[in-house]
Chains A and B, each alone.
Chain A
């Protein structure tokens, strides 16, 4: 992000982070536990070099009645719209906007129509993480939130057909692989009947690595080259994940 865009973006990031914290706090007051997924969750599990700027806020919850949140949505100027998956809102700031989504029980993907059912242990396994601002001007912001476990974030990213999500998945595998509980990863994939899909996606990432498509993806989203060392690490780790797939083990 350039210096000029940065001043605009830093304002938006500041608002987004403040709103995130406020909504999370207010929701707790109403007995609604919100867990972060999406861009902010990816940021929690990736290093700075693979960060992408995010301003949209994506939460998940198991509480079905979210009407109690209408007040806080409206007070923060997001509007409040109930959808078949939960609630959403949007806040305009000059020419930009922050999108806010709360999905209930499951996360639906637009590109595949697949759904990820939230596992029972998701809330127990979620951890409070400091969410760092990506822009230097906001580095003093101390915002924290409950973030979905890395296994669930990874499955949600591998579930889609969108290249942007695959980039996020690659970044998570490169930066947070040691945090991934492979047993839980496969168990949760299976619970949503996504294990075959996830396995295919991982295999197709391996094929993409061979074809040089991962390099292209990396270049598209970071503008930089995917170096050989990253290539080797990614291949090793995907293979490790695949080896732990219980259907293969059997």
Chain B
């Protein structure tokens, strides 16, 4: 991957940097500022983007509308410095993971999201987007370092129609990166499962809940449950004790045995009192379906017998864990079939429905 800039590109970059620094600009701005043709503007922006010296964002409404931000000269120099350390024969051939192994401690990061989850559960294959938690100040360095022919780096939503092998999404970490990560045998850093579980419980999408259940099942004997940075404390700190306790209870309930030690669940339960108006999970699709059902229930008089029957069946699906909901003091709308499917797929023998 070429990181060095030809003289003409350096000139254009410098002029744009003097004018815009870290501010966003458009295609038209470049044409006007540099006084160049449309074709030359395309070439300039393309050459900068290819090298990772420019961050491009597309509009969600109109895919063609783009804004650009330059990566600072300091961050570019940092990436060029790192590249200069790559052995000549490996230059341009490094895969994404090799880059993470290579960067080692030069930049702090921890892989998170579905890819990190997959590392632990080996169950549901993640999408092509790799999420990494980084220090906010390193954003430009990461874009300049990771971008190459096969990789594009994004700081927001990924709006890209071109076929690219690797999409990387940068996320800012709320905690010091060093405290949340561990090094894998392969030599790259990944979020520790306890912190990752908090991340997944925070997202509470259908995918993240499946991933959380799968990690708990696959790693239950290796997870740090107690003590500082243990799951029980982290959940308490994050306000996710109910969510975690409920999921563990649901796993035990569906398998009709203590897959998770009962004492762990008791300890989580003792961490809070009273009820909450929380609905779990707040997955927007689940939530929308549930609220639809609730609205329909209010107008039962207008429904046919058949519709009432279906409504009842659907409501039962979302309220299958009524007792556990009461125990954990919130409203769980997680369908039982959802939990049972993961358990069954991962070889946990199920109890009767």
By a beta-carbon cutoff of 8 Å, the part of chain A in contact with chain B is 1-5, 9, 48-49, 52-55, 90, 95-96, 99, 110-111, 161-164, 208, 211, 213, 216-217, 219-225, 227-229
Interface size, B (range): 35 or more
| Nearest CB on B from A119, distance (A) | 24
| Nearest CB on B from A213, distance (A) | 6
Q: Which residues of A contact B126 (CB under 8 A)?
A: 1
14 pairs, A vs B, C-beta closer than 8 Å: A2-B166, A3-B95, A5-B115, A5-B118, A49-B163, A54-B125, A55-B125, A111-B335, A162-B206, A162-B338, A224-B127, A224-B159, A228-B60, A229-B63
Q: Mark B182-215, 1 if CB is under 8 A from A, else 0.
A: 0000101000000000000000011100000000
Complex Cα distance, B114 from A1, in Å, reads: 10
Q: Is the CB of A2 within 8 A of B125?
A: no
| Nearest CB on B from A229, distance (A) | 7
Given contacts A2-B130, A48-B163, 15 further A-B contacts (CB under 8 A): A3-B95, A5-B118, A49-B163, A53-B125, A99-B345, A110-B340, A162-B338, A211-B288, A213-B285, A213-B288, A220-B127, A221-B127, A222-B129, A223-B129, A225-B60
Q: Is the CB of A4 within 8 A of B285?
A: no
Q: Which residues of B contact A110 (CB under 8 A)?
A: 337, 340-341
Give the contacts of B301-342 with A (CB-CB under 8 A): 317, 335, 337-338, 340-341
Complex Cα distance, B343 from A110, in Å, reads: 13
Complex Cα distance, B336 from A248, in Å, reads: 34
Q: Is the CB of B157 within 8 A of A2?
A: no
Q: Which residues of A contact B284 (CB under 8 A)?
A: 213, 216
By a beta-carbon cutoff of 8 Å, the part of chain B in contact with chain A is 58, 60-63, 95-98, 115, 118-119, 122, 125-130, 157-161, 163, 166-167, 169, 186, 188, 205-207, 283-285, 288, 317, 335, 337-338, 340-341, 345, 347
| Nearest CB on B from A100, distance (A) | 12
Q: Is the CB of B128 within 8 A of A111?
A: no
Q: Which residues of A contact B122 (CB under 8 A)?
A: 95-96
Q: Assuming the A-B contacts A1-B128, A220-B206, are A228 and B285 also in contact, with contact meaning beta carbons closer than 8 angstroms in the complex? A: no
Complex Cα distance, B96 from A225, in Å, reads: 22
Q: Is the CB of B335 within 8 A of A220?
A: no
Complex Cα distance, B207 from A192, in Å, reads: 29
B318 and chain A: residue at smallest CB distance:
A161
Q: Which residues of B contact A55 (CB under 8 A)?
A: 125
Complex Cα distance, B167 from A234, in Å, reads: 25
| Nearest CB on B from A47, distance (A) | 10
Q: Is the CB of B285 within 8 A of A225?
A: no
A4 and chain B: residue at smallest CB distance:
B97
| Nearest CB on A from B81, distance (A) | 23
Q: Is the CB of A228 within 8 A of B61?
A: yes
Q: Is the CB of B129 within 8 A of A224?
A: yes
Q: Is the CB of B63 within 8 A of A227?
A: yes
Complex Cα distance, B157 from A209, in Å, reads: 18
